[in-house]
Amino acid sequence: MLKIEQLRIAYEKFGVEIEGATFSGGLNIVLGPNGGGKSTLMRGIIGYDEPGIKVRRIYWDDDPLNGVQDTISYLPQENPRFKISVADYLTMTSERVSGSAYSAAVERFDISHLTNQSIENLSGGEFKRVQCAQLSIEEKPVIMIDEIEQGLDLKYQHEMMQWLRREAPFRTIITSMHDASLALTYADTITLVRGGRITGPMSPSAVTSEMLSVCYDLPLEVERRSGSALVYHRRL
Ligand SMILES: Nc1ncnc2c1ncn2[C@@H]1O[C@H](COP(=O)(O)OP(=O)(O)O)[C@@H](O)[C@H]1O
Ligand SMILES: [Mg+2]
């Protein structure tokens, strides 16, 4: 359980102000327009060297979250590439990696054919899968991913969400994304972020067409069918 008692970040022209938000174990998805504050919120949770942080009272299981190396695996929105093989990249952020943990991650993310390549030469979607495999090997209690579906085709978007669903009973996952249909289909909770303020976390079933329309400043409709949700533009 990751609890934000208070987080206040102030840049020159933008601020985040959050009080009393708790992300419980499970898949917590953050939605919101470009520039709404999703990435700033995640950097605020991490806390290191974020210049605008004015107040940061965040707890992990009732202990102040100061230093996240044992707690959070974090995948930022942009990740620089450099010359390193996929195999070395997968294990470089974990101390001891068992052969079985390595093989399981390689298989789960369908990257066995890539392990000898440099990460510089992967497509966007391949690199994303390699990054998520690296996180899964770290086995930390919190996984935080900024824009998870970026670069992934339809099949891998669903596979990635299914991976998170399988991890959800054992971890606290916080991920931002743009695909509201995918989010409402897979999430345990949804948090809407706009103008540095949040609504939620709340059950996906509590998210209404009106809430999304206000959040994105667009006439949106939510339709729920057996097991999945569809968000579409009302006037098309
Ligand atoms: N280091 C910074 N200094 C000043 N403004 C920033 C900084 N980082 C982000 N911002 C501003 O904060 C706002 C929210 O950005 P961001 O959190 O990246 O939004 P999102 O991830 O929801 O698209 C934007 O207006 C952005 O320009
Ligand atoms: Mg962002």
Taken in order of first residue, the domains within the chain and their CATH numbers are: 1-71+141-152+167-203 (3.40.50.300), 75-139 (no CATH)
**How many Å lie between the centroid of ligand 2 and the Cα of residue 34?**
7
Per-residue pLDDT at 67: 87
Residue 34 near ligand 1, beta carbon < 6 Å: yes
Q: Is 38 in the pocket of ligand 1 (CB under 6 A)?
A: yes
Q: pLDDT value at position 34? A: 97
Q: From atom 11 of ligand 1, which residue's Cα is the shortest distance away? A: 14
Among protein residues, the one whose CA lies closest to atom 19 of ligand 1: 35
Q: Which ligand is nearest to the CA of 32?
A: 1
The helix or strand, by DSSP H or E, that contains position 4, with its residue range, turns out to be strand 2-10
Cis peptide before 76 (omega within 30 of 0): no
Q: What is the pLDDT of the chain when averaged over all its residues?
A: 95
pLDDT of residue 48: 87
- pLDDT < 50 positions in the chain: none
Distance of CA 203 to the CA centre of its chain: 17
- The atom of ligand 1 lying closest to the CA of 42 is 17
Nearest protein Cα to ligand 1, atom 12: 14
Say if ligand 1 is within 6 A of residue 209 CB.
no
Q: Exposure of 130 by Cβ count < 10 A (0-12 exposed, 13-18 middle, 19+ buried)?
A: buried
Give the number of the atom of ligand 1 that is nearest the alpha carbon of residue 37: 17
Q: Whose CA is nearest to atom 17 of ligand 1?
A: 37
> What's the CA gap between 108 and 55, in Å, rounded?
39
Tell me the two tokens of residue 85: 């093989």
State residue 22's pLDDT score.
97
Residue 49 in contact with ligand 1 by CB distance below 6 A: no
